[in-house]
Amino acid sequence: MSGRAGAVAGAAELVDDGRFLEILRRRVAIPTESQEPSRLPDLQRYLEEEIAPALSALGFSCRILPNPVPGGGPFLIAERHEGHHLPTLLTYGHGDVVRGIPEQWRAGLDPWRITVEGERWYGRGTADNKGQHAIVIEALGAVIAARGALGFNAKMLIETSEEIGSVGLDALLETEAAALSCDLLLASDGPRLERDKVDVKLGNRGAVAFDLTISLREGSRHSGHWGGVLEDPGVILAQALASITSPRGQILIPQWLPKAIPPKVKAALAGITVDPSDPSLKMPDDWGEPGLTVAEKMYGWTSFIVLAFLTGRPENPVNGVQPDARATCQIRHTADVDAEGFLPALRAHLDARGFHQVEITDRRANRFPAWRTDPENPWVERVLASVTRTMGTRPTLMPNSSGGLPSEIFARHLGCPVIWIPHSYGGCRQHGPDEHVLVPILREGLSIMAGLFWDIGESEGETA
């Protein structure tokens, strides 16, 4: 089998004959937890021992660069140049993962060792994001093997600090914009909307994280003597948090919300069913903004989440009125609101309700701006047509993902459209215990990307 069909079949065969599993086994075994400073050598090792050799074997020149921000992990920039007259494609991925938390995984599973159970491959990073950028690299290799060339110029950026807010990425692009200049950024991250249907996403929601703290005194005081007399920071902070939403999660700070979902976005989301692929995930209709569908809440609206809330020591409580309380919170938002106004609006909201004691600390390092590529951009239809050609059905076009990605950073520095094709699913348990990928989606992902890379490099006269 030759031509496009040969490239697609060759990519899928990597799963069938076990080669892709072995690639992923090696990469998952490197514990690239970017939240842990002690793992910085592992982040470097991942790029040096795994990514650079894989790309060098495909004819890419590779550079590993230190992070311009202290504490951030290194970057790898790779390039394969085939001709000044050819289009240039930039791909992206991240080699870091969230903490492994091995004690929370099911018996018999280890975050740093792939365990195969039927069509599931368990391991930290299998879905987010080692498996996905491995698909991209191997699909590039399949096209080179079938054609002898890509037919376009290819660049790749792998960072190792995405899970801590892509620390240093903005600064890197300021100095490396020329080296990374491209006609299109095409990358893979996040889950599909539906397990059995491909989707194409044009950006991402943004994320703003912040701490709410209240500190009233030094040390706790005997609860029998002082309870009911001294102010309780846990109660005050709980009341402050409760004022942000209704009892059923509707956000009550108008400045955090879009005026409306844009018509193009609303039309794209019409009729879309969100499939969590996990029977334990219940999505009651009355949670969140009234009158919106689940898809509109996830992809077209603002959400507010309390990530952590602490007063005292829950693992060892004492009979005392506590001195302080702290909560870490997060807002996810679309490109239709001004994120810079979120915390001033929160300050005004809390003050108006008497919560002057509650301090707000911006966790700016954990921010992602929102971004949405224009669906009318010609590259969008080219990508959709290629996926349709491979799969036989047209993929779902999503205005943006629900999660955070560095789309805006690339678009701002490089002036290119940004398109994401995810190769995971809603039940993959990324960021939690028992993270895994599904073999059918891996095969489809390799096929889709090989077909897409073939089509981008296709010249007149070539056939499938």
Rounded to an integer, what distance in angstroms lies between the CA atom of residue 408 and that of residue 185?
11
Least confident of 250-259, 269-278, 286-295, 311-320: 269-278
CA dihedral 122, 432, 247, 271 (to 10 degrees): -40
Backbone φ, ψ for residue 332 (5° rounding)? -110, 135
If 0-12 CB within 10 Å is exposed, 13-18 middle and 19+ buried, where does residue 357 land? middle
Inter-residue contact 198 to 419 (CB < 8 Å): no
389, amino acid identity? R
Confidence of residue 462 (pLDDT cuts 50, 70, 90): low
If 0-12 CB within 10 Å is exposed, 13-18 middle and 19+ buried, where does residue 193 land? buried
Q: Which contiguous run of DSSP H or E holds residue 304?
A: strand 303-310
Most confident of 217-221, 227-231, 384-388: 384-388
DSSP of 354-420, one letter per residue? T-TT-EEEE-GGG-B--EE--TTSHHHHHHHHHHHHHHSSPPEEESSBSS--SHHHHHHHH---EEE
Go through the chain and tell me how many residues it has. Answer: 464
Inter-residue contact 95 to 158 (CB < 8 Å): yes
Using DSSP, state whether 46 is helix, strand or coil: helix
DSSP of 70-121, one letter per residue? TTPPPEEEEEE---TTS-EEEEEEE--B----GGGSPTT-BTTB-EEETTEE
Residue 464 pLDDT > 90: no
End-to-end CA distance of the chain: 10
Rounded to an integer, what distance in angstroms lies between the CA atom of residue 13 and that of residue 114?
19
Rounded to an integer, what distance in angstroms lies between the CA atom of residue 79 and that of residue 90?
9
pLDDT digits (tens, 9 = 90+) for 387-418: 999 999 999 999 888 877 889 999 999 999 99
Residue 460 pLDDT > 50: no
Q: Average the pLDDT over 179-208 and give the result.
A: 93
Q: What is the pLDDT of residue 183?
A: 97
Q: What is the pLDDT of residue 461?
A: 41
Residue 88 pLDDT > 70: yes
pTM value is 0.84
Q: What is the pLDDT of residue 366?
A: 74
If 0-12 CB within 10 Å is exposed, 13-18 middle and 19+ buried, where does residue 181 land? middle
Buried b (16+ CB within 10 A) or exposed e, 109-127: bebbebbeeeeebbbbbbb
Provide the token pair at 377: 């951009």
Confidence of residue 274 (pLDDT cuts 50, 70, 90): confident
Q: Work out whether the CA dihedral 385, 2, 142, 197 comes out positive or negative.
A: positive
Inter-residue contact 409 to 392 (CB < 8 Å): no
Confidence of residue 459 (pLDDT cuts 50, 70, 90): low
Q: Find where tokens 């890509």 sit.
A: 150
Q: Smallest Cα–Cα separation from 200: which of 375, 10, 438? A: 375
Using DSSP, state whether 206 is helix, strand or coil: strand
CA dihedral 72, 73, 78, 84 (to 10 degrees): -10
Q: Find where tokens 């600064």 sit.
A: 171
Confidence of residue 246 (pLDDT cuts 50, 70, 90): very high
Residue 463 pLDDT > 60: no
116, amino acid identity? V
Q: Specify whether the backbone of 386 is left (phi greater than 0), alpha (psi in -120 to 50) or beta.
A: alpha
Most confident of 246-250, 276-280, 425-429: 246-250
Q: Average the pLDDT over 214-228 and give the result.
A: 91
Mean pLDDT score across all residues of the chain: 94
Long-range contacts from 107-110, C-beta under 8 angstroms, 24+ separation: 109/433, 109/434
The number of angstroms, rounded, from the C-alpha of 233 to the middle of its chain's C-alpha atoms is 34
Q: Which contiguous run of DSSP H or E holds residue 144?
A: helix 130-147
The share of the chain scoring above pLDDT 90, in percent, equals 84
